């Protein structure tokens, strides 16, 4: 794909994710159900954090394209390195995990992850923008742009580190409020919850490996 076309795509993707992130973070306070958006606000939800992550990634990707267009190759090389690290370690595995895990749990029992009370607050298009569109965007990125993956040990270490940070944030919120970020967590005993978190990390690692495999096969 021509660099100019790629720059246009990355710019549009950045604008889209910025718009979606803006939309969810500006849901009117008086419309929010009492059990949602308490301590930590929207920033306790992996879905919302992923929207910000995707906006940052596509912003960096657009910058890399622009630098290549204006022949600032030395600067572009540094930005491309950051872009590839963001995509391989976080943008692809996290968006894939968010989309697939959400719809599996939603199909099983939506009250565990997305209470029906949210239907009157978050429009259907915004729900799909947060939980459905993120996956085809991630797959399309692999198709249109080659990415250099880091050494396996480095990539997985960074991914697990970020995963542990989010789990720590979830546990901190529970320690302060006595309420779980997702009602699903209340179903587990402490050992069961630890096993759930560990298995979620393992699944996310598998998505990292899947992204690396697709990137290698295509490019």
Q: What is the pLDDT of residues 8-63, one digit of tens each?
A: 999 999 999 999 999 988 776 555 554 555 677 788 999 999 999 999 999 999 99
d(CA 138, CA 87): 9
Average pLDDT (129-152) is 95
Q: Considering the entire predicted model, what is its pTM?
A: 0.92
For residue 76, what pLDDT is reported?
86
**What is the pLDDT confidence band of residue 203, given thresholds at 50, 70 and 90?**
very high
Residue 75 has pLDDT above 90, yes or no: no
Helix (H) or strand (E) holding 218: helix 190-218
The better pLDDT of the pair 219, 14 is held by 14
Average pLDDT (129-149) is 95
Residue 149 has pLDDT above 80, yes or no: yes
For residue 197, what pLDDT is reported?
96
């Amino acid at each position: 794909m021509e660099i100019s076309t790629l720059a246009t795509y990355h710019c549009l993707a950045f604008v889209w994710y910025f718009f979606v992130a803006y939309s969810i973070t500006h849901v009117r306070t008086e419309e929010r159900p009492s059990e949602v958006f308490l301590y930590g606000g929207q920033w306790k939800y992996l879905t919302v954090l992923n929207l910000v992550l995707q906006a940052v990634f596509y912003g960096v990707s657009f910058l890399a394209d622009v630098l290549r267009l204006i022949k600032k190759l030395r600067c572009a090389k540094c930005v491309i390195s950051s872009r590839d690290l963001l995509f391989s370690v976080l943008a692809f595995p996290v968006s894939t995990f968010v989309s697939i895990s959400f719809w599996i749990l939603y199909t099983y029992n939506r009250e565990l992850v997305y209470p029906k009370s949210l239907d009157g607050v978050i429009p259907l298009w915004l729900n799909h923008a947060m939980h459905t569109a993120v996956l085809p965007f991630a797959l399309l990125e692999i198709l249109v742009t080659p990415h250099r993956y880091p050494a396996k040990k480095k990539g997985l270490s960074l991914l697990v580190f970020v995963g542990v940070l989010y789990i720590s944030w979830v546990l901190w919120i529970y320690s302060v409020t006595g309420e779980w970020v997702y009602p699903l967590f209340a179903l587990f005993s402490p050992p069961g919850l630890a096993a759930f978190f560990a298995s979620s990390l393992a699944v996310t690692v598998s998505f990292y490996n899947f992204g690396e495999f697709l990137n290698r096969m295509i490019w």
